[in-house]
Amino acid sequence: MDREKVNFAKMNALGNEIIVADMRERTDIIGSSLAQTLKADPSLTFDQIMSIHDPRTPGTDAYIHIINADGSLSGACGNGMRCVTAALSAESGKMHFIFETNSAFLSSFEQSNGEFTVDLGVPHFDWDKIPLSEEFADTRHIELNIGPADEPVLHSPSVVNVGNPHALFWVKQDVWSYELERCGPLIENHPLFPEGINVSLALVTAPDAITLRVWERGAGLTRACGTAAAAASVCGARLGYTERFVTVTMPGGALLVEWKDNNHILITGPVNYEFSGKITLADGAWQRETEG
């Protein structure tokens, strides 16, 4: 084994760009500085790095270390977990996996139609588990206005933690009518959110359909975000806007989200392989080896 280089696959799930790195049989990690070095290379675009490590807990298939594009640590990435599942399923022939992440134990599996499902577990609605810096008794809507006080552009988001924190602003017009690229970073870093937050604009188009646009914590505007889709679905159902089985359409495509009777959230959708290669850990140099 070349200890200086690791194998990786560049994948995407509805345009959510993911690097899946094979860190098995190693004790080191891909950390913030390497992620930032890789991100500085315009020829390798990504939103998250999903590093596969040997299991830390008996009964699990792997420990997954998740780093955002800006080098920050993430507790969950629904689309990234689907990419990991696809990569390991292709390698081993297995259909079902149990993974440990920094925030939870997650199960995932390949569907008979070739799509992939991740069980994100149970959502957390308590203010201190999201977390917020102030107590709110009802997190279906919290007091937060963006824009003029008498006529805010965005207001009263729903907040939830589905492995990472999310704020959902429910809008009445097209999600592209708002400058999310401007207000997204302001909301992400608002003092109300001590660990930062993912920011979404959500438009309910039917009882079983939501259109979503996402500013992802640590990554910026993304074409898709699995945990944001899950967050929108459970918050929409909690408010009575939607049913518990919805299609969430994002710029990169659609995810099916089911909030089951046991309160677990399942997200299902396709995964695409782009290419594979090797990354040199010492300096972040990388090379393609196999095209998709």
Question: Any catalytic annotation for residue 77?
Answer: yes
Q: Are residues 93 and 142 in the same domain?
A: no
* Cβ atoms of residues 94 and 156 within 8 Å: no
Q: What's the count of helices (H) and strands (E) in the chain, helices before strands?
A: 4, 20
Q: What pLDDT sits at residue 291?
A: 78
**Side-chain-facing half-sphere of 159: CA atoms under 13 Å:** 27
Per-residue pLDDT of the chain (292 residues; tens, 9 = 90+): 567 899 999 999 999 999 999 999 999 999 899 999 998 898 999 999 999 999 999 999 999 999 999 999 988 899 999 999 999 999 999 999 999 998 889 999 999 999 999 999 999 999 999 999 999 999 999 999 998 888 899 999 999 999 999 999 999 999 999 999 999 999 999 999 999 999 999 999 999 999 999 999 999 999 999 999 999 999 999 999 999 999 999 999 999 999 999 999 999 999 999 999 999 988 889 999 887 6
Residue 124 DSSP class? B
pLDDT number for residue 282 = 86
Both 220 and 104 in a single domain? Answer: no
Question: pLDDT at position 76, please?
Answer: 87
According to DSSP, the residues that pair with 67 across neighbouring strands are 49, 73
Q: What pLDDT does 2 receive?
A: 65
Instruction: List the catalytic residue out of 83, 183, 225, 235.
Output: 225
Please compute Rg for the chain using Cα positions: 18
Please tell me the distance from the alpha carbon of residue 252 to that of residue 77, in angstroms, as a whole number: 16
Q: Which domain holds residue 61?
A: 5-119+271-291
**Number of domains within the chain:** 2
**139 in the same domain as 194:** yes
d(CA 202, CA 61): 35
Do residues 104 and 161 share a domain?
no
Pair 250, 133 in one domain: yes
d(CA 24, CA 51): 9
**Whether residue 151 is found in the same domain as residue 110:** no
Q: Could you check whether the bond before residue 165 is cis, i.e. omega within 30 degrees of 0? A: no
Q: Which of 77, 83, 183, 235 is catalytic?
A: 77
So what's the pLDDT on residue 256? 98
pLDDT confidence of residue 149: 82
Same domain, 175 and 233: yes
Question: Are 212 and 228 found together in one domain?
Answer: yes
Q: Whole-prediction pTM value?
A: 0.93
**Same domain as 192, residue 173:** yes
How many other β-carbons are positioned within 10 Å of the β-carbon of residue 1?
7
Residue 71 sits in the same domain as residue 198: no
Q: How far apart are CA 200 and CA 175, in angstroms?
A: 9
| 102 and 202 inside one domain | no
- In the prediction, which pLDDT does 277 show? 95
Question: Is the same domain home to 73 and 136?
Answer: no
CATH number, residue 144: 3.10.310.10
- Take residue 220 and report the two structure tokens written for it: 């910026």
Residues 72-98 as b or e (16 or more Cβ within 10 Å = b):
bebbbbbbbbbbbbbbbbeeeeeeebb
183 is annotated as an active-site residue = no
pLDDT for 1: 54
